[in-house]
Amino acid sequence: QLVLTQLPSASASLGASVNLTCSLSSGHRIYDIVWHQQQPEKGPRYLMRVNHDGSFSKGDGIPDRFSGSSSGTERSLTISSVQSEDEADYYCQTWGTDIQLFGGGTKLTVL
Amino acid sequence: QEQLAESGGGLVKPGGSLRLSCSASGFIFSDSYMSWIRQAPGMGLEWISYINRDGSTVSYADSVKGRFAISRDDAEKSLYLQMNSLRAEDTAVYFCARVMGGCIVSWGQGTLVTVSS
């Protein structure tokens, strides 16, 4: 069964780097995923697609400090030089035939 | 610029019905696959329904199957969600989203549905 697993929380100091991970269930290592950001009291926003080969493609206007990577069944979102506006919930998302699936989300706190 | 705008949310009693609408602009709606996603208060995102670009294929999460129906009107550039037999656990913000190759690539701002007596 296809499942996405995220840690519920993470924190980073202002200006530091942080890595958020999304784990695909066993047997699903070739799945690509998407990262979405949801700032407080706002709707989600598409950040980027991370492919199983480690390549990634960002949405329009997404700052350079956001990047993606992949290793095995793990897909990562790295934010370098974290800013206060990066404090948000981050969701990974993948898909099967005619369905979409979300991870539980990671709440990032900027210290 | 792509824009999606949901409407139709509100307060409804358990067992009642509601129809949500999503108005699209800034992209070719008739070529687009679309989904509805919801978010209960304080909770994460839950995909609930999907429709392909000509409406010939629809799918639903088990939590809403048999109660909700997705549809589209390409002339109106609109997506709909008919919600019947509503339950307290359907209380959530409902988002429409554009889907490309399985990826959700744009989102609306959401409309709140509250099911309560």
- Report how far residue B100's alpha carbon sits from residue B79's, in angstroms, rounded to the nearest whole number: 16
**Mean pLDDT score, A4-17:** 97
φ, ψ for residue A7, nearest 5 deg: -70, 140
Mean residue pLDDT of chain B comes to: 97
Check pLDDT > 90 for residue B10: yes
pLDDT digits (tens, 9 = 90+) for A70-94: 999 999 999 999 999 999 999 999 9
**Closest CB from B44, B59, B109 relative to A43:** B109
| Strand stretches in chain A, DSSP E | 4-5, 9-12, 18-24, 33-38, 45-50, 56-58, 66-71, 74-79, 88-96, 99-102, 106-110
For A59, nearest residue in chain B (alpha carbons): B105
The amino acid at A44 = P
The dihedral region occupied by B14, where left means phi > 0, alpha psi between -120 and 50, and beta the remainder, is beta
B51 to chain A: which residues are within 8 Å by CB? Answer: none
The dihedral region occupied by A105, where left means phi > 0, alpha psi between -120 and 50, and beta the remainder, is left
CB A98 to CB B59 under 8 A? yes
pLDDT digits (tens, 9 = 90+) for B12-48: 999 999 999 999 999 999 999 999 999 999 999 999 9
User: Residue A98 — very low, low, confident or very high, per pLDDT cuts 50/70/90?
Assistant: confident
CB A102 to CB B95 under 8 A? no
pLDDT over 90, % of chain B: 97
DSSP characters over B54-91: TSS-EEE-TTTTTTEEEEEETTTTEEEEEE-S--GGG-
Q: Cα angle vertex B45, ends B43, A81, to 5°?
A: 90
